[in-house]
């Protein structure tokens, strides 16, 4: 038996193939097939927690300790070798952090299938990085993490190709399909020739007409809400005095607020001292007090959960109220869908360009594509859907379960095809 393992930036899922059909395994709380890709390290040691338990542990501890998310997005980063997490692990390499999640997932899955499965096919984005060296580093790291998690045989498959295999099981004739997977960290695409007659071929390389991807995912949409609508609450508009000069708030500090995992790094001594200096010298103390509360009380995760919820609401509603009230940080922002679309427009443009570019490099025109299969949580954003319908027409769009098709397709993959 072999697992198909989709270690996502936001969510992780596992599937197996049995009797030519695919089963997604109930590895999560209440037998859910999905776990959030998160680890929580309690402040004073104690057992680390994974997935939904990590969120619960973090909130129950009064947000003391370190909650790590989007670990996958560090994979191509040469400079991020590891971090001090305290407790059982002390210092942990990036591979170790990922292996902790993968071994948790393996344990849940092994318990469900009733055997120790030693073979895995794990997903990777179409492009970890445009720099081939970083791309290779990221893939080597994920393979290494899978070995550390106890898998003996590890294969890698591109996530959009996996999604194509899942879609292929549901069609009755041959199609040239454009597959798009819009996740939390990346948007990945492939154009493939699919059909029931192709399923049993062991070498599918001639069916792959193109693969590409872009480092744009749901996290970027969250960051844009923070950047455009919320950083004013934390001092982006203040000035502070340095000797006899008035200076603006440093941009890099505000940029760090836009990725909540980075907010925890702002607790270092240098930043703390600088923020104290801001409090003494700024022309408006109130936002700096909020900034201090955000950093010192580890409120980044809660704030980003609120942001993410507002984003989700905007997929179905035309406007939403982004309301946050903790430790003196009171935020009330009404965001309409057109405003959201305006402030995230650069992401949509990048996605659209990558799709156009893939058509060009594959030598295909949009009208030569028979179907467009779309998956991943970010595909719920109406502006993302609009890029697709504008290019391919609404009639060609096909959907499945946005959160499990990659794992299912990985389980259905033969390992010699990328």
Residues that bind Mg ion (CB under 5 A): 8, 183
Report the alpha-carbon angle 8-300-286, nearest 5: 155
Stretch 393-412: interaction string toward ligand ATP, x if CB under 6 A: ----------x---------
Task: Indicate the SS3 state at residue 417.
Answer: coil
Site for ligand ATP in 375-394 (CB under 6 A): 376-378, 380-381
In the complex, what is the shortest distance from the CB of residue 197 to Mg ion, in angstroms, rounded to a whole number? Answer: 28
* 36 binds ligand ATP, rule: CB under 6 A: no
- Which one of residues 315, 320, 362, 413 is an interface residue with ligand ATP (CB under 6 A)? 315
In the complex, what is the shortest distance from the CB of residue 219 to ligand ATP, in angstroms, rounded to a whole number? Answer: 6
* 183 binds ligand ATP, rule: CB under 6 A: yes
In the complex, what is the shortest distance from the CB of residue 187 to ligand ATP, in angstroms, rounded to a whole number? Answer: 8
Closer to Mg ion by Cβ: residue 6 or 256: 6
In the complex, what is the shortest distance from the CB of residue 124 to ligand ATP, in angstroms, rounded to a whole number? Answer: 9
Task: Indicate the SS3 state at residue 35.
Answer: strand
In the complex, what is the shortest distance from the CB of residue 311 to ligand ATP, in angstroms, rounded to a whole number? Answer: 5
* 65 binds ligand ATP, rule: CB under 6 A: no
In the complex, what is the shortest distance from the CB of residue 7 to ligand ATP, in angstroms, rounded to a whole number? Answer: 8
Which residues does 375 contact at the CB level (< 8 Å), separation at least 6? Answer: 163, 166, 179, 180, 181, 182, 399, 400, 401, 402, 405, 406
> Which residue, judged by CB position, is nearest to ligand ATP in the bound state?
218
Q: How many CB atoms are located within 10 Å of the residue 284 CB?
A: 12
Place of tokens 């907010």: 263
Continuous H helices in 318-364:
337-343, 345-362
With CB under 6 A as the rule, give the number of residues binding ligand ATP. 23
- Which one of residues 57, 218, 235, 409 is an interface residue with ligand ATP (CB under 6 A)? 218
How far apart CA 187 and CA 266 sit, in angstroms, is: 29
Q: Which helix (H) or strand (E) holds 156?
A: strand 153-158
Evaluated on CA atoms 72, 77, 82, 83, the torsion sign reads negative
Q: Which does 315 bind (CB under 5 to 8 A by kind): Mg ion, ligand ATP, none?
A: ligand ATP
* 217 binds ligand ATP, rule: CB under 6 A: yes
Closer to ligand ATP by Cβ: residue 9 or 190: 9
Closer to ligand ATP by Cβ: residue 125 or 287: 125
Q: What is the dihedral of CA 369, 373, 376, 381, to 10 degrees?
A: 70
* 72 binds ligand ATP, rule: CB under 6 A: yes
In the complex, what is the shortest distance from the CB of residue 184 to ligand ATP, in angstroms, rounded to a whole number? Answer: 4
Q: Which does 11 bind (CB under 5 to 8 A by kind): ligand ATP, Mg ion, none?
A: ligand ATP
| 141 neighbors 96 (Cβ within 8 angstroms) | no
Alpha carbon 335 to its chain centroid, in Å, reads 23
Closer to ligand ATP by Cβ: residue 9 or 282: 9
DSSP class per residue in 354-408:
HHHHHHHHHT--GGG--EEEEESGGGGSHHHHHHHHHHH-GGGEEE--TTTHHHH
Query: Which residues are at the interface with ligand ATP (CB under 6 A)?
Result: 8-11, 72, 159, 183-186, 217-219, 308, 311-312, 315, 376-378, 380-381, 403
């Amino acid at each position: 038996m072999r697992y198909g393992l989709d270690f996502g930036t936001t969510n992780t899922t596992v599937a197996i193939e049995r009797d030519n059909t695919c089963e997604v395994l109930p590895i999560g709380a209440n037998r859910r097939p999905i776990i959030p890709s998160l680890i929580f390290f309690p402040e004073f040691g104690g057992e680390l927690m994974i997935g939904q338990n990590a969120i619960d542990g973090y909130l129950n501890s009064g947000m003391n300790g370190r909650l790590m998310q989007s670990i996958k997005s560090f994979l191509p980063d040469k400079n991020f070798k590891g971090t001090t997490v305290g407790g059982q692990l002390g210092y942990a390499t990036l591979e170790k952090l990922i292996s902790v999640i993968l071994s948790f997932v393996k344990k849940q899955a092994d318990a469900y299938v009733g055997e120790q499965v030693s073979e895995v096919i794990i997903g990777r984005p179409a492009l970890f990085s445009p720099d081939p060296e970083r791309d290779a580093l990221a893939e080597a790291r994920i393979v290494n993490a899978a070995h550390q998690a106890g898998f003996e045989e590890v294969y890698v498959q591109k996530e959009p190709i996996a999604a194509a295999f899942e879609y292929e099981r549901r069609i009755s004739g041959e199609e040239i399909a454009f597959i798009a997977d819009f996740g939390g960290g990346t948007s990945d695409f492939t154009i493939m020739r699919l059909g029931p007659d192709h399923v049993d071929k062991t070498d599918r390389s001639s069916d792959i007409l193109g693969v590409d991807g872009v480092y744009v995912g749901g996290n970027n949409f969250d960051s844009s809400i923070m950047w455009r609508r919320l950083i004013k609450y934390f001092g982006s508009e203040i000035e502070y005095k340095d000797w006899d000069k008035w200076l603006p708030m440093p941009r890099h500090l505000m940029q760090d607020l836009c990725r909540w995992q980075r907010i925890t790094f702002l607790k270092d001594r240098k930043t703390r001292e600088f923020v104290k200096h801001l409090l003494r010298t700024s022309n408006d103390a109130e936002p700096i007090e909020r900034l201090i509360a955000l950093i010192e009380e580890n409120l980044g995760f809660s704030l980003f959960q609120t942001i993410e919820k507002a984003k989700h609401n905007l997929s179905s509603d035309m406007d939403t109220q982004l309301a946050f009230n903790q430790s003196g940080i009171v935020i009330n922002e009404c965001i309409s869908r057109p405003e959201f679309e305006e402030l995230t427009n650069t992401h949509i443009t990048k996605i659209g360009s990558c799709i156009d570019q893939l058509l060009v490099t594959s030598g295909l025109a949009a009208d030569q594509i028979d179907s467009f299969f779309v998956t991943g949580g970010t595909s719920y954003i109406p502006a993302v859907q609009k890029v697709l319908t504008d290019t391919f027409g609404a009639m060609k769009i096909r959907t499945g379960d946005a959160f499990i098709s990659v794992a299912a397709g990985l389980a259905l993959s033969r390992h010699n095809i990328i």
